Structure formats: structure tokens, C-alpha cells
Amino acid sequence: MGKKVIIVGSGIAGMAAAIRLSIKGYEVTVFEANSYPGGKLSEINMKGYRFDAGPSLFTLPEQLEELFELANKKRKIF
């Protein structure tokens, strides 16, 4: 039986940790208090407008690229 890990919070750090641990073979469960993932990387939709509720840029995009490479996934540009 593999090792199990619980991560509290589905913000960028929680999701990155979940991906890294999953790659290493851990069974990962992520718990989030909100009804949506993302933590501070969320948005508010009001009257047809979308507002960022947190940071809107990464100052270290190379860390995001590294995470996609580790997960063997291609990053989609939106």
C-alpha cells in the first residue's frame, strides 16, 4: 500500500505540492474550504464583469514551467 498525504488548501502552493507528491507515487487528497480551487488566484464575476481577486502575474514563471515539465504536461496558453 502506498503512502497517503493530505494537503489542506488548493492554492498555487497546495496544488504544486499535490502534483509533486503524486509524481513521486503518493496518494494525494486535497481539501479546500471554498467551493472552488485556486486560493488567492480566484476571480469574482459580477454583472457580466470579471475581477481578479488576487495576484494576476507570476514573478517566477520558470517555476511554473518546471512543474509542467515534472508532470510531463504541456502548458496551454489562454
pLDDT digits (tens, 9 = 90+) for 30-68: 999 998 888 888 888 999 999 888 876 667 788 888 988
Q: Which stretches does DSSP call E strand in the chain?
A: 4-8, 27-31, 43-46, 49-52
Residue of 56, 67, 75, 62 whose CA lies nearest to 16: 67
Alpha-carbon distance of 25 to 20, in angstroms, equals: 9
Can you tell me the distance from the alpha carbon of 76 to that of 26, in angstroms, rounded to the nearest whole number? 26
Is residue 78 very low, low, confident or very high in pLDDT (cuts 50, 70, 90)? very low
